[in-house]
């Protein structure tokens, strides 16, 4: 049989995702602030998009809706589609340069004046003071030699945002001495004769750094951090300091009997000392941290109007876009553009129409999802966390007729302002447990109930996990002991043995 290359024509079906679909999914995923910035960028790069001014008269908007272009709609029947071939322009010598149209200041358009008059305030990164700056300012006021000041800067550079020394003193000295040795070798001098930093100098400098504000800074572990704070308060000889210094492991494990035997104090006195220690700051550096504050702008608003809860989009600060009527009229004159200009016009017009459609689709999808959440979780808005019901992404997707991944994108990093506070949309989703009467109760509601039981317990006889199971079963909640233990760990609640007071 003769072998060779050949071509065969055939038809087959393939599932391909349109690049526009990827962009639509990205729009759905974007939080409000990111969406606002994205739309401002699109407004700048696409001449077919224009801003709908909030002060436009309502009558004008209705007239525009009826006659030409509805706001936030993308039907432009007379505009060329991106795949529609444009006829060749006759060679009359009167061709129009599309770039000239875009940059022109034609009478009656007012496009350039409008954009020049409108100023957008862009977010600008601002340098913020951190813990290192706070410590460096204090070191600058100390009477130190140049040699000491250089070593102090090394220590400050190795202190983390939480205030702890992140590198052992020996490693800090090794790094400084290594640079001294390299500098001498580069200068052709004998490295053995260099004035290296000694271990004593390192420990002395650490002591100086640990005297800076905030108290506890420069500690190598929690134990040392607590002792530094007690010393700053003049309580270095108190029972609390003795407990931390001589019985820290027993303190962490709440072994009061062992501490009582070691210190000669009663368990009640030791627990009182532990209560005083709990008032100290375990991470003193965070109060001077340069970490940014995260401000939340809710994407949705839930308001109670009469006996109903209504859902609104919080898009007052979001640019409202529409396809520019001026540039549509220019685009209709197909014969005045050369081939390159026609392709540019078609692509930009198509992109503008799609963008307006995608924004409206995003709005409608978010409203559908949040409206169902509000209907499903009405008891939460009426009663609080105890009224939360189990809810999954699949349940919402099935009800509103969308894919589960779409609902996931809608709820990701989105927040809603509700009568119960500003909450992430993920808050309303949780697994559930069955009750004795056949109803379902949210895991979040169970956790809230568990916390209330612990808060109300007798400190001298704290509830064990099995006793909590029995209490919940009396309330109709069928739950396993291991589930109670898991929820207790998630709530950072200690076991009964470590919660017990004497």
DSSP 93-115: S-PPPHHHHHH---TTT-HHHHH
Tokens of 423: 């909450």
Query: What pLDDT sits at residue 82?
Result: 40
The angle, 0 to 180 degrees and rounded to 10, between the axes of the packed helices 146-157 and 199-209 is 70
The set of residues, in sequence order, having a beta carbon less than 8 Å from that of 44 and lying 6+ positions away, is: none
The set of residues, in sequence order, having a beta carbon less than 8 Å from that of 354 and lying 6+ positions away, is: 20, 23, 74
Cα–Cα separations (whole angstroms), residue 239 to 199, 219, 245, 269, 275: 32, 21, 10, 8, 12
Residue ranges covered by each domain of the chain: 131-288, 300-313+360-428, 432-499
Tokens of 78: 């007379």
Query: What pLDDT sits at residue 436?
Result: 59
Query: What pLDDT sits at residue 88?
Result: 40
Angstrom distance (rounded) from CA 302 to CA 235: 52
Question: DSSP H helical segments within 297-403, as ranges?
Answer: 325-332, 339-376, 378-383, 393-400
Average pLDDT of the chain? 80
Tokens of 198: 């000694």
**Phi-psi group of 100: left, alpha or beta (phi > 0 → left; psi -120 to 50 → alpha; rest → beta):** alpha
Cα–Cα separations (whole angstroms), residue 151 to 36, 184, 214: 47, 18, 20
Q: Token pair 């939460």 is at which residue?
A: 380
The domain 432-499 belongs to what CATH superfamily? Homeodomain-like (1.10.10.60)
Angstrom distance (rounded) from CA 207 to CA 445: 49
Tokens of 230: 């007690």
DSSP lists the bridge partners of residue 461 as 458
What is the pLDDT tens value at each position of the chain, 502 positions in all? 567 787 888 787 765 656 666 667 777 778 777 888 888 888 888 888 887 765 554 544 555 555 544 444 334 434 344 434 333 434 444 444 544 544 444 444 444 444 444 444 445 555 567 899 999 999 999 999 999 999 999 999 999 999 999 999 999 999 998 888 888 778 777 766 668 899 999 999 999 999 999 999 999 999 999 999 999 999 999 999 999 999 999 999 889 989 999 889 999 999 999 999 999 999 999 988 766 566 788 989 999 999 899 999 887 777 788 888 877 777 776 666 666 777 777 788 888 888 888 888 888 899 999 999 999 999 999 988 888 888 989 999 999 888 888 888 888 888 999 999 999 999 998 876 666 555 567 888 888 889 999 999 998 899 999 999 999 888 888 888 998 999 899 898 989 888 888 7
SS3 440: strand
């Amino acid at each position: 049989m003769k072998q060779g290359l050949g071509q065969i024509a055939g038809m087959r079906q393939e599932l391909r995702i349109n690049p526009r679909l990827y962009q639509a999914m990205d729009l759905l995923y974007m939080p409000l602030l990111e969406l606002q910035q994205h739309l401002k960028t699109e407004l700048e790069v696409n001449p077919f998009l224009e801003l709908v001014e909030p002060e436009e008269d309502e009558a004008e908007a209705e007239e525009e809706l009826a006659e030409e272009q509805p706001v936030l709609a993308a039907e432009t029947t007379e505009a060329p589609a991106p795949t529609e071939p444009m006829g060749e322009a006759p060679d009359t010598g009167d061709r129009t340069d599309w770039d000239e149209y875009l940059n022109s200041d034609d009478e009656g358009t007012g496009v350039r004046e409008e954009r020049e008059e409108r100023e957008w305030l862009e977010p600008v990164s601002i340098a913020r003071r951190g813990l290192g700056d706070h410590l460096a300012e204090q070191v600058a006021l100390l009477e130190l030699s140049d040699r000491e000041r250089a070593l102090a800067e090394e220590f400050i550079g190795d202190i983390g945002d939480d205030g702890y020394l992140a590198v052992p003193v020996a490693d800090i000295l090794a790094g400084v001495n290594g640079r001294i040795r390299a500098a001498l070798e580069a200068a052709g001098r004998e490295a053995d004769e260099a004035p290296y930093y000694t271990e004593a100098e390192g420990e002395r400098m650490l002591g100086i750094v640990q005297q800076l504000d905030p108290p506890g800074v420069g500690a190598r572990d929690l134990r040392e951090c607590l002792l530094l704070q007690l010393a700053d308060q003049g309580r270095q000889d108190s029972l609390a300091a003795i407990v931390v210094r001589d019985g820290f492991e027993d303190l962490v494990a709440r072994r009061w009997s062992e501490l009582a035997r070691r210190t000669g104090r009663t368990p009640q006195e030791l627990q009182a000392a532990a209560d005083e220690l709990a008032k100290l700051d375990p991470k003193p550096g965070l109060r001077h941290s340069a970490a940014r504050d995260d401000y939340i702008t809710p994407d949705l608003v839930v308001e109670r109007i009469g006996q109903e809860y209504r859902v609104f989009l919080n898009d007052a600060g979001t640019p409202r876009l529409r396809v520019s009527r001026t540039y549509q009229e220019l685009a209709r004159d197909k014969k005045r553009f050369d081939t390159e200009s026609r392709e540019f016009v078609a692509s930009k017009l198509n992109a503008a129409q799609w963008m307006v459609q995608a924004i409206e689709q995003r709005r409608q999808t978010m409203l559908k999802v949040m409206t169902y959440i509000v209907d499903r979780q009405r008891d939460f808005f009426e009663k609080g966390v105890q009224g939360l019901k189990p809810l999954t992404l699949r349940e919402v997707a099935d009800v509103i007729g969308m894919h589960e991944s779409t609902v996931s994108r809608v709820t990701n990093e989105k927040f809603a302002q509700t009568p119960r506070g500003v909450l992430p949309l993920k808050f309303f989703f949780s697994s559930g447990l069955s009750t004795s009467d056949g109803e379902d109760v949210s895991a979040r509601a169970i956790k809230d109930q568990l916390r209330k039981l612990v808060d109300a317990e007798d400190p001298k006889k704290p509830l064990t996990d099995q006793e909590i199971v029995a209490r919940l079963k009396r309330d109709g909640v069928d739950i396993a002991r291991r589930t109670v233990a898991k929820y207790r760990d998630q709530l950072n609640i200690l076991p009964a043995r470590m919660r017990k007071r004497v």
